[in-house]
C-alpha cells in the first residue's frame, strides 16, 4: 500500500505469516471459528459448511439426520451445503469427518443475525440501564451470542477470531452486545425459536473499513474510494526470500510464533495477530478481518448501530451505507439481505436555534434517506439519548425498535414497526401541511421517561418544528396535529416554503409520536 510497516511491507508480512503457518499446517480437517459448540444455524435456508483439509481429502458433514459430502480442492478448501431445516430447540451434534473427526455439540436451529457497528453496538448488557435486574433475569439457553475479536488486515482473511458461542445466563449475558441481546430477546418472545447473535463490532470505527471492495465499486459517487481500494488489492506479490526475511522478523517479534500458529484453527493465509503499524480505519480493513471470514455463514439479516465516527457527514454517508449494504449482499449471495440501522440518538447541548443543522442533524437525515434502499429499516431513538453521554444506557428500547422492523418485514407479524416518517408537504396559504407514513393508529404528542413506555400528553403542544420562506430564514413554528397530518405556521413567515423537525444535535422536547409509542424521525423538507 506504499506505506512502511515497522520496516517491512505489510504484503510481505501477510505472505510471510502464510508461509510460516503452512510449515506447521496439518492435514487434519479444520473449521472456521464461527463454527463451534452451542452454535445456532439459520432455519429454512440452505446451511453452508466449509473448512480446510489436505488436497483431495473427502469430508462428510452430518447433522439432524442430514449428510453432505465434499472433497478438498487443490488449495485445501472444501465447502458443502446442508438442506434447509425447520427451527429446533433440541441441542444436537454436528460431526465433520475427514482423516480426523470434529464434533460440535448442542447445536440448535433458529434465527441468526449479525450485530455490527461501533461502540453503541459493542456496548454490553453489563453497562446498560437496569443491568443487574436484566442480567439476573436473562437465563435463556435458546438465545446465544458469539463475539468476534477485533482484527484489521490489509487483505481478506478466510477466518475470524471468535470467543465461542455462549448461552444467555446470569453468568454470560453481561458480556453480550446489549442492543443485540434486547433485539434477540424481543424476537424470541414473538417467535419462540432459538436466536443466534453474531457480535462483530468495534467501538470508534467508521463505516468504510467494514465495507467490502465490491460495495464501493457499485456506487458511482464513491469511485475515487473504490479506485484507491482496488490499488491496494493489486500489489505485486513478493518473493520467497522476502517471506523468509519476514519469518525471521516474526520470530523476533513473537517468541514461539510457530507454536502459537500451529495451535490456531485459522487457514494458512491468516495471521492470528494484528499487522504492526496498520490503521484499522482504512477502507475494508475491518471487513477483511471481521466480516469476510464469516461468509457464507447463513444469516437472516443484519442490524447496524454506527455513525458517530462519520458524524460530520451528510449525503456521503447515504452513499457509504449503499456500498456497505450492497457489498454485504453480494458477498453473502443474498440480494435481499435485511439491514436495519439505528438512527443516532440526541446528544450534546441544545442550541435552541430554529435553523438547526448542528451536530448529528445532517447524518441523521442521511440515515433517514437510507430507507430508500431496498429492505433497509431504521430505528429512531431521538428520544432516548443523553446530552453528556454518547452511549445512552437505554439499549432496551433500541433493541425493541429494531426488532419491530424484523418482526413486521421478515416474520410477517402484524405490528407497527416505525414511528412517523416524513412523506410530503403541501403549502396552504400561510401554512404548510406535512404528511407522514407509519402513523400507526394515529399521531400524538407524547412523552418518554427512561425505560417507561411513551405516554400521550393530551393537552401537549408539538415542539421543535421550524418554518421558513423563500428568504431561507428559519423561525420556530406553531405546529398542531390535524387528523393524520401536522400543520405548521408562524406569524413571522407569510408564505412558507419549507419545514424542519428536530433537526439539531439535541432537539430537547421533540415530541411527535404515533399511538404505538414510536417517535417521528427528524426531517427537513428543504435541501439548503
Check whether 230 has a pLDDT greater than 60: yes
Question: What's the pLDDT band for 105 if we cut at 50, 70, 90?
Answer: very high
Which segment of 11-20, 74-83, 265-274, 382-391 scores lowest on mean pLDDT? Answer: 265-274
State pLDDT tens for residues 36-55: 999 999 999 999 999 999 99
**DSSP letter string, 257-323:** HHHHHHT--S-TT--SSPPTT--TTSTTHHIIIIIGGGTT---SEEEEE--GGGTT-SHHHHHHHHH
Output the pLDDT for position 279: 65
Determine if residue 147 is left, alpha or beta; phi over 0 gives left, psi from -120 to 50 gives alpha, anything else beta. beta
Question: What's the pLDDT band for 233 if we cut at 50, 70, 90?
Answer: confident
Please state, in angstroms and rounded to a whole number, the distance separating the CA atoms of residues 392 and 182: 14
Pair 280, 160: CB distance under 8 Å: no
State pLDDT tens for residues 109-145: 999 999 999 999 999 999 999 999 999 999 999 999 9
DSSP code of residue 178 = H
What is the mean pLDDT of the segment spanning 182-210? 98
User: CA gyration radius for the chain?
Assistant: 25
359 CB neighbour count, 10 Å cutoff:
21
Residue scoring higher pLDDT (256 or 102): 102
Question: What's the pLDDT band for 280 if we cut at 50, 70, 90?
Answer: confident
Please state, in angstroms and rounded to a whole number, the distance separating the CA atoms of residues 495 and 527: 18
Please state, in angstroms and rounded to a whole number, the distance separating the CA atoms of residues 183 and 177: 10
Please state, in angstroms and rounded to a whole number, the distance separating the CA atoms of residues 18 and 24: 10
Check whether 15 has a pLDDT greater than 60: no
Check whether 269 has a pLDDT greater than 70: no
Residue 200, all three cell numbers: 462483530
State pLDDT tens for residues 423-434: 999 999 999 999
Burial of 441 (0-12, 13-18, 19+ CB in 10 A): exposed
Question: What's the pLDDT band for 235 if we cut at 50, 70, 90?
Answer: low
Please state, in angstroms and rounded to a whole number, the distance separating the CA atoms of residues 158 and 229: 19
State pLDDT tens for residues 25-39: 446 999 999 999 999
State pLDDT tens for residues 291-340: 999 999 999 999 999 999 999 999 999 999 999 999 999 999 999 999 99
Q: pTM for this structure?
A: 0.88
Output the pLDDT for position 144: 98
DSSP code of residue 112 = E
Output the pLDDT for position 232: 82
Output the pLDDT for position 281: 80
Check whether 146 has a pLDDT greater than 70: yes
- State residue 71 phi and psi, 5-degree precision: -125, 130
Q: Do the strands 88-97 and 431-437 form a parallel or antiparallel pair, or are they unpaired?
A: unpaired
Check whether 443 has a pLDDT greater than 80: yes
State pLDDT tens for residues 372-393: 999 999 999 999 999 999 999 9
CA dihedral angle for residue 467, residue 472, residue 475, residue 479, rounded to 10 degrees: 0
Residue 350, all three cell numbers: 441544545
What is the mean pLDDT of the segment spanning 476-484? 97
Report the share of the chain in percent with pLDDT over 90.
85
DSSP code of residue 477 = P
Please state, in angstroms and rounded to a whole number, the distance separating the CA atoms of residues 125 and 518: 23
What is the mean pLDDT of the segment spanning 483-502? 98
86 CB neighbour count, 10 Å cutoff:
10
Amino acid at each position: 500500500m506504499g506505506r512502511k510497516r515497522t520496516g517491512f511491507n505489510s504484503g510481505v508480512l501477510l505472505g510471510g505469516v502464510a508461509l510460516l503457518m503452512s510449515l506447521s499446517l496439518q492435514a487434519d480437517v479444520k473449521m472456521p471459528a464461527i463454527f463451534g459448540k452451542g452454535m445456532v444455524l439459520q432455519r429454512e435456508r440452505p446451511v453452508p459448511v466449509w473448512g480446510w483439509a489436505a488436497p483431495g481429502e473427502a469430508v462428510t458433514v452430518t447433522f439432524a439426520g442430514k449428510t453432505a459430502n465434499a472433497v478438498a480442492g487443490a488449495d485445501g478448501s472444501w465447502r458443502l451445503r446442508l438442506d434447509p431445516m425447520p427451527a429446533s430447540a433440541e441441542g444436537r451434534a454436528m460431526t465433520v469427518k475427514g482423516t480426523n473427526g470434529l464434533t460440535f455439540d448442542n447445536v440448535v436451529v433458529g434465527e441468526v443475525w449479525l450485530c455490527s457497528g461501533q461502540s453503541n453496538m459493542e456496548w454490553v448488557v453489563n453497562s446498560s440501564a437496569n443491568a443487574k435486574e436484566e442480567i439476573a433475569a436473562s437465563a435463556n439457553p435458546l438465545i446465544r451470542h458469539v463475539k468476534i475479536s477485533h482484527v484489521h488486515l490489509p487483505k481478506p482473511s478466510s477466518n475470524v477470531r471468535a470467543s465461542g458461542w455462549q448461552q444467555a445466563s446470569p453468568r454470560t449475558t453481561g458480556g453480550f452486545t446489549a442492543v443485540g441481546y434486547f433485539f434477540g430477546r424481543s424476537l424470541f418472545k414473538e417467535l419462540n425459536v432459538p436466536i443466534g447473535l453474531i457480535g462483530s463490532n468495534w467501538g470508534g470505527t467508521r463505516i468504510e473499513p467494514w465495507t467490502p471492495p465490491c460495495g464501493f465499486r457499485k456506487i458511482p459517487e464513491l469511485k475515487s474510494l473504490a479506485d484507491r481500494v482496488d490499488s491496494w488489492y493489486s500489489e505485486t506479490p513478493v518473493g520467497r526470500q522476502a517471506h523468509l526475511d519476514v519469518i525471521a522478523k516474526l520470530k523476533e517479534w513473537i517468541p514461539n510464533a510457530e507454536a502459537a500458529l500451529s495451535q490456531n484453527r485459522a487457514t494458512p493465509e491468516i495471521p492470528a495477530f494484528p499487522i504492526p503499524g496498520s490503521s484499522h480505519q482504512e477502507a475494508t480493513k475491518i471487513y477483511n478481518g471481521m466480516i469476510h471470514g464469516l461468509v457464507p455463514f447463513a444469516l437472516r439479516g443484519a442490524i447496524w448501530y454506527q455513525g458517530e465516527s462519520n458524524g460530520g457527514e451528510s449525503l456521503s454517508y447515504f452513499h457509504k451505507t449503499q456500498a456497505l449494504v450492497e457489498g454485504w449482499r453480494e458477498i453473502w449471495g443474498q440480494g435481499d439481505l435485511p439491514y436495519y440501522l439505528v438512527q443516532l440518538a440526541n446528544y450534546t447541548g441544545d442550541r435552541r436555534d430554529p435553523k438547526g443543522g448542528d451536530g448529528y442533524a445532517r447524518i441523521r437525515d442521511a440515515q433517514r434517506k437510507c430507507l430508500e434502499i431496498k429492505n433497509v429499516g431504521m430505528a429512531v431513538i431521538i428520544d432516548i439519548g443523553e446530552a453528556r453521554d454518547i452511549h445512552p444506557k437505554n439499549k432496551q428500547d433500541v433493541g425493541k425498535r429494531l426488532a419491530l422492523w424484523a418482526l413486521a418485514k421478515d416474520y410477517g407479524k402484524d405490528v407497527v414497526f416505525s414511528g412517523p416518517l416524513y412523506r410530503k408537504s403541501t403549502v396552504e396559504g400561510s401554512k404548510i401541511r406535512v404528511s407522514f407514513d407509519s402513523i400507526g393508529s394515529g399521531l400524538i404528542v407524547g412523552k418518554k421517561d427512561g425505560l417507561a413506555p411513551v405516554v400521550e400528553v393530551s393537552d401537549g403542544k408539538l415542539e421543535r418544528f421550524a418554518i421558513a420562506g423563500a428568504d431561507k430564514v428559519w423561525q420556530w413554528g406553531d405546529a398542531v396535529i390535524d387528523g393524520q397530518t401536522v400543520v405548521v405556521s408562524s406569524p413571522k413567515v407569510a408564505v412558507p416554503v419549507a419545514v424542519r423537525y428536530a433537526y439539531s444535535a439535541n432537539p430537547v422536547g421533540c415530541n411527535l409520536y404515533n399511538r404505538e409509542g414510536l417517535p417521528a424521525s427528524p426531517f427537513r423538507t428543504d435541501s439548503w
